[in-house]
Amino acid sequence: MRLTKTLLVVSAIAALSAVALTGCSSGSTAGASGGGSLTVAKPDGAAILSTQTNNPFISTGSGMSLGYDRMIYEPLAIVNPVGKNETTPWLASKVEWNADYTQLTVTPRSGVKWSDGKPFTADDIVFTYTMIKNTPALDLAGLKLADVKKDGGNVVLSFSESKFVKQGDVLQVTIVPEHQWKSISDPSKDPVKDAVGTGPYTIKSFSSQGVVLKARTDYWGGKVPVGQLKYLEYNDNTGLLRALQSKEADWAQIFITDYQKNYVDKDPKHNVFWGANVLSPDMVLVNTTKAPFNDVAFRKAVNMVVDRKAHAEKARSNAGPELTSVTGIPQPTGDQYIAPEYKDKTFSIDVDGAKKVLTDAGYTWKDGALIDPSGNPVSFTLQDPQGWNDYVTGIQLVATQVKSTLGADAKVATPDADTWFTNMATGNFDAALHWSGSGSNPWHIYDDVMNGAYLEQAADGKVSDNFGRYSNPEATALLKQYAQASDDATRTDALNKIQKIFVEDVPAIPIGTHPQLGEYNTRTFTGWPSEKDQYATADPTQPSAVQVIMNLKPAGK
């Protein structure tokens, strides 16, 4: 188990700067803010800035798309997906789970004020979680809250099922002020133009040209190191890359082909690119309900000829390490979770072995083309959205490899993103390169591709996960057992069995790591997260973005 049941504020010391921690005491440096400015940028297009939406529960709004909401609203705690997967208390000074993770007791941090000057209290926590409980459209993470109540100075959250695998989803809910939100009739749609939060910044200006935040002088966490944040939008990755190269933008999250040459080397003393290796592999999702991937023999054969080294080098530009474990678990982040029988089992290209698997299953070859047991040529199409260069390169590599080694007619299609998302949800695909869920343990990896519960929850023929429609009651039961277990031994046993099914039945084909990317420079501020200091990822849209800002220091100090 990586997340401890009791997390005191002292556990935050390694992640927070000494300056930030002083904000918890009466000797706080509140009343001051630092100087300087940082420009944060995204490549989503100008349309994001056409309407101001500061509602943190609207993921497509300007605040969440650009990430500036992370600097205005704050969570109870921040869970680190890298490093030691530690949890840093934030608006809570203490959080404690019961043995089976169905109940969370929260101690609100004292001395915190909303940006309009009103005090933050336990009532705000109760209000926020009750609002989510009563508004299904807000329960994006499926928290399944059963009860929310105050207990003395604490708040107790009760759930209808164990939240062990979703601790981050629970703890990283953004808390909103009751005194403002109680009058909002539909919190799932209201843009909340007047953003009132506990975070270190407030909105100074909003326009189609960008968003400017100014640092608070009364922030509970102490002196805010950066006086101003500017958020800009660019039309695509190319435009944003130029802005990073020209020093117009300071902090971003984009995929950069040959990042060393195209970004780092433009200012090698200051420019930093970091792909944080989280527990989230990229996989070739295969439609297990139709030929050829309804045959486990063919799935195994493809799994045996995929060139994962080429994927890391050519598709991902070495942004993250090569995926090596046959379990699909990224290393070294997930070393502790790999089942004993697979500790030393790594992927290798085995064309002869793959052909034997196919031959034993009744496949033949005619003029170099693979023929299935029914006498039909084997063909399939890999699809990913046009413009997603890393993913399109990835499926092109797979198609070429499978065609040249096994003789299957592997094609590539690049529909627009909306069509692709619909195809995945409805099962209108043969295979596609897709990311997997991530968390502080590998449960999300396997849940995404093996949990039959998603098939039972399908609406109008659409599923929200397990897009390959893999059906295995044993795997579904083991995933549920892991999620609801009350001890580590039970979880470990379930996870080991899940890995065995994954390796032997190949419900999806793991192909590469899926790091959380981040680009920044150290020209004006230092203290950023990095491979050597993994207190957070460097992605400015994540909950930890506020933690990163509060850890910065002026360069040279």
Query: Can you tell me the mean pLDDT for 407-415?
Result: 97
CB neighbours of 348 closer than 8 A, spacing ≥ 6? none
Query: How many other CB atoms sit within 10 Å of the CB of residue 456?
Result: 10
Using N-to-C axis directions, what is the helix angle for 351-360 and 389-406, rounded to 10°?
70
Residue 18: inside a domain: no
pLDDT tens, 433-471? 999 988 888 999 999 999 999 999 888 899 989 999 999
Rounded to an integer, the average pLDDT of 387-401 is 94
Say yes or no to pLDDT of 500 above 80. Answer: yes
> Quick one: 409 and 346 in the same domain?
yes
| Same domain, residue pair 343 and 476 | yes
Among residues 142, 171, 190, the one where a domain terminates is 190
Among the candidates 190, 208, 223, a domain finishes at: 190
Of 190, 207, 241, which residue constitutes the final position of a domain?
A: 190
Specify whether 210 is located in the same domain as 155: no
Q: How far apart are CA 439 and CA 176, in angstroms?
A: 24
pLDDT tier, 142 (very low <50, low <70, confident <90, very high otherwise): confident
Domain that holds residue 223: 34-72+199-277+516-556
Number of domains comprising the chain: 3
Same domain (yes/no): 329, 400: yes
The answer to whether residue 308 scores a pLDDT higher than 90 is: yes
Q: Does position 56 have pLDDT exceeding 80, yes or no?
A: yes
The answer to whether residues 303 and 428 belong to one domain is yes
Q: How far apart are CA 417 and CA 432, in angstroms?
A: 12
Quote the pLDDT of residue 32. 67
* Maximum alpha-carbon separation in the chain: 81
- H/E/C letters for each residue in 337-349? HCCHHHCCCECCC
Do 371 and 365 meet the contact criterion of CB atoms below 8 Å apart? Answer: yes
Q: How many CB atoms lie within 10 A of CB 461?
A: 9
Q: Residues near 318 by Cβ (< 8 Å), separated by ≥ 6? A: 312
Q: Letter for the amino acid at 108?
A: P
pLDDT tens digits for range 202-256: 999 999 999 999 999 999 999 999 999 999 999 888 999 999 999 999 999 999 9
The answer to whether residue 54 is domain-embedded is yes
Give me 168's structure tokens: 């981050």
Residue 59 counted as domain residue? yes
* Residue 189, amino acid: K
Write the pLDDT tens digit of every residue in 167-179. 999 999 999 999 9
Domain membership of residue 93 (yes or no) is yes
pTM score, two decimals? 0.84
Residue 531 in any domain: the answer is yes
**Distance between the two ends of the chain, CA-based, in angstroms?**
38
Contact 33, 215 (CB under 8 A): yes
For position 372, which CATH number holds? 3.10.105.10
Q: Are residues 158 and 298 in the same domain?
A: no
| Same-domain check for residues 286 and 417 | yes
Does residue 27 lie in a domain region? Answer: no
- % of the chain residues with pLDDT over 70: 94
Task: Count CB-CB contacts under 10 A for residue 190.
Answer: 16
> For residue 545, what are its two tokens?
């973005």
Q: Does residue 20 carry a pLDDT above 70?
A: no
DSSP per-residue string spanning 471-498: --HHHHHHHHHHHH-SSHHHHHHHHHHH
* 59 and 85 both lie in a single domain: no
pLDDT of residue 18 exceeding 60, the answer is no
- Indicate whether 387 and 455 sit together in one domain: yes
Sequence-distant contacts of 368-374: CB under 8 A, at least 24 apart: 368/407, 369/407, 369/409, 370/406, 370/407, 370/408, 370/409, 372/291, 372/292, 372/295, 372/298
Give yes or no: residues 448 and 462 share one domain. Answer: yes
- Cβ atoms < 10 Å from Cβ of 183: 8
pLDDT of residue 29: 40
Tokens of 445: 């990896």
Residue 8 lies in a domain: no
User: Does a structural domain hold residue 9?
Assistant: no
- CATH code of the domain containing 92: 3.90.76.10
Region 35-54 average pLDDT: 93
Considering the domain architecture, whether residues 311 and 176 belong to the same structural domain is answered as no
Q: Are residues 385 and 239 in the same domain?
A: no
Stretch among 233-242, 283-292, 424-433, 543-552 having the lowest mean pLDDT: 233-242
Mean pLDDT of the chain: 92
pLDDT in tens, 319-368: 889 999 999 999 988 999 999 999 999 999 999 999 999 999 999 999 99
DSSP-derived secondary structure letter, 109: P
Q: Over range 297-317, report the average pLDDT.
A: 96
